[in-house]
Amino acid sequence: MSVVEPDLASSKQVLSRAATDNGRHTDRIQQPHRKDKDIVRRIGTRDICRVACQLATLLRAGMPLVQALSALVEQLQSVPRRRVLSLGANGDPLAWTLAEVRDSVNAGSSLADALSKHDSVFSPLIVNMVAAGETSGTLEQVLLRLSQMLEKRTQLISKVKSAVAYPLMMVIVAIAVVIFLLSYVVPSITQIFLEMNRALPGPTKLLISVSGFMRTYLPVIAIVPFAAFFGLAAAYKTKEGRLFADRTKLKLPIFGRLFVKAEIARLTRTLGMLLASGIPIISALAIAKGATQNAVFANALDSIRDWVSKGDSVADAIKRSGLFPPVVFHIVATSQISANLESGLIDIAEMYDSEVELTTKTLTSLLEPTILLVMGVIVGFIVLAVLLPIFEINQML
């Protein structure tokens, strides 16, 4: 449990400080003020993961729920938080959120209902898993599973982003260098050749034409990428646009398989954790749909849920969707026969996590030299086109 171990010591420290506050926690811990919230309020998945782990540790140590929540609020308030922009010195968005959750629980609400009031922070996946844990009396175990799942999801997203971001950054830098050379460096050199009124080699003529085009339409070239980005972003907000973009993303020649594997890993792990928490399969499929980030998979989950509700097995429904590889179908089918579907789904997630990690390493190792090679060819052509007229002049002299 990589998530539990780093937070165990801090949780015990919180436990020891809060143990003396039994019966007085509400008065002792100051309610964080909303006016002190950060302008940049986004609470990351790692923050939720850490809180879930620490809360599970406190509950497992025997601390009552309300007192454990108060201890977490105190912990968050005691740790300085770096901010990009802030309106106050003590504001922590997660601290005041947990304080409100604590007050709701203290007033008689269940933890799941209290969390559901903050749907911008706690997703339906978290709320439903907590509700299942409260119903079955296994809240500590559910919170530990939740922290592990969120940690795995964060690691998976980081791997995919690193595989995409690094080559993309190299391509952007390479394009910027080429534009700079063609727009500012090459014209000052080729102008000398044009003033000599001599016949120029073909590569030099091509370079001069491209350079002239770049200088003439440079403002348009600079504006087009930004206009395209905002246009695609606006289209992605529509249902049809998002479906088209997500379908295209899954069919990309290099990164498509990586996106498919990452989505399958996220989906199967979510379903496995929900089933392990005691949530029925129909409800689990509906919750998992909200956790997926791809509209194609979301539509497939709708179809799978409809087929399962009509009597099909999960394995048959997965096979009918046509979106999952055969190995997923066979593992799910075998797991259903042995009445251990949640373990089979988590095993699939672990398998695809490993494949995503291997694929990201392979892509990074292959794309880096490829991009450098293409960049070298372009720069080499520019240098050759500049040097050819110089060589001809030297031969004539």
Supply the DSSP string of 142-207, one letter for each residue: HHHHHHHHHHHHHHHHHHHHHHHHHHHHHHHHHHHHHHHIIIIIHHHHHHHHHHTT----HHHHHH
Local structure of 325: helix, strand or coil: coil
**pLDDT score for 80:** 55
- Using an 8 Å Cβ cutoff, are 10 and 75 in contact? yes
Task: Say if residue 42 is in the same domain as residue 184.
Answer: no
Which band of pLDDT confidence, cut at 50, 70 and 90, is reported for residue 396? low
Local structure of 379: helix, strand or coil: helix
- 314-323, 349-358, 383-392: lowest mean pLDDT where? 383-392
Which band of pLDDT confidence, cut at 50, 70 and 90, is reported for residue 46? confident
Task: Say if residue 63 is in the same domain as residue 190.
Answer: no
Mean local confidence (pLDDT), 335-358: 90
Which domain CATH number covers 76? Answer: 1.20.81
Q: What angle do CA 253, 254, 257 make, to 5 degrees?
A: 90
In a domain, 108, yes or no: yes
In a domain, 270, yes or no: yes
| Greatest mean pLDDT range, 33-42, 343-352, 379-388 | 343-352
Q: Which of 394, 281, 36 is nearest to 289 (CA)?
A: 281
**pLDDT score for 103:** 92
Site of tokens 């025997």 = 62
How many angstroms separate the CA atoms of 122 and 115, rounded? 6
CB atoms within 10 A of CB 273: 25
How many angstroms separate the CA atoms of 147 and 126, rounded? 10
Task: Say if residue 38 is in the same domain as residue 176.
Answer: no
Q: How many CA atoms lie less than 13 Å away from 42 in the CB half-sphere?
A: 5
138-150 pLDDT, tens digit per residue, is 888 888 888 888 8
Which band of pLDDT confidence, cut at 50, 70 and 90, is reported for residue 385? confident
The single-letter code of the amino acid at 375 is: M
Task: Say if residue 33 is in the same domain as residue 182.
Answer: no
72-86 pLDDT, tens digit per residue, is 988 888 765 554 444
Asked which of 104, 122, 140 is the last residue of a domain, the reply is: 122
- Using an 8 Å Cβ cutoff, are 104 and 95 in contact? no
Which band of pLDDT confidence, cut at 50, 70 and 90, is reported for residue 357? confident
pLDDT at 35 over 50: no
**pLDDT score for 202:** 83
Asked which of 105, 122, 139 is the last residue of a domain, the reply is: 122
Backbone angles phi, psi at 86, to 5 degrees: -145, 145
Q: Which residues pair with 86 in a beta bridge?
A: 38
The total number of structural domains that make up the chain: 2
Local structure of 272: helix, strand or coil: helix
**pLDDT score for 308:** 93
Name the token pair of 358: 């291997």
In a domain, 357, yes or no: yes
Higher pLDDT, 37 or 154: 154
Local structure of 86: helix, strand or coil: strand
**pLDDT score for 91:** 53
Name the token pair of 106: 């203290």
- 2-11, 87-96, 211-220: lowest mean pLDDT where? 2-11
In a domain, 140, yes or no: no
Q: Which domain holds residue 16?
A: 4-122
pLDDT at 11 over 60: no
Q: Which residues pair with 38 in a beta bridge?
A: 86
Task: Say if residue 298 is in the same domain as residue 173.
Answer: yes
Task: Say if residue 55 is in the same domain as residue 167.
Answer: no
Mean local confidence (pLDDT), 339-345: 90
Which domain CATH number covers 245? Answer: 1.20.81.30
222-264 pLDDT, tens digit per residue, is 788 888 888 888 888 888 888 998 999 899 887 888 889 989 9
306-321 pLDDT, tens digit per residue, is 999 998 899 999 999 9
Site of tokens 């509209």 = 295
Which band of pLDDT confidence, cut at 50, 70 and 90, is reported for residue 221? confident
Which band of pLDDT confidence, cut at 50, 70 and 90, is reported for residue 196? confident
254-293 pLDDT, tens digit per residue, is 788 888 998 999 899 989 888 988 888 998 898 888 778 8
How many angstroms separate the CA atoms of 26 and 122, rounded? 23
* Arithmetic mean of pLDDT over the chain: 80
Task: State how far the alpha carbon of 220 is from the alpha carbons of 154, 169, 171, 172, in Å.
Answer: 39, 22, 20, 17
Task: Say if residue 171 is in the same domain as residue 298.
Answer: yes
Task: Say if residue 57 is in the same domain as residue 106.
Answer: yes
Task: Say if residue 114 is in the same domain as residue 172.
Answer: no
Which band of pLDDT confidence, cut at 50, 70 and 90, is reported for residue 18? very low
pLDDT at 373 over 60: yes
Task: Say if residue 381 is in the same domain as residue 331.
Answer: yes
Task: Say if residue 234 is in the same domain as residue 338.
Answer: yes
**pLDDT score for 12:** 41
Q: How far is CA 114 from the centre of its chain?
A: 26
Exposed/middle/buried for residue 5 (C-beta within 10 Å: 0-12, 13-18, 19+): exposed
Mean local confidence (pLDDT), 92-121: 88
Task: Say if residue 77 is in the same domain as residue 160.
Answer: no
- Using an 8 Å Cβ cutoff, are 343 and 272 in contact? yes
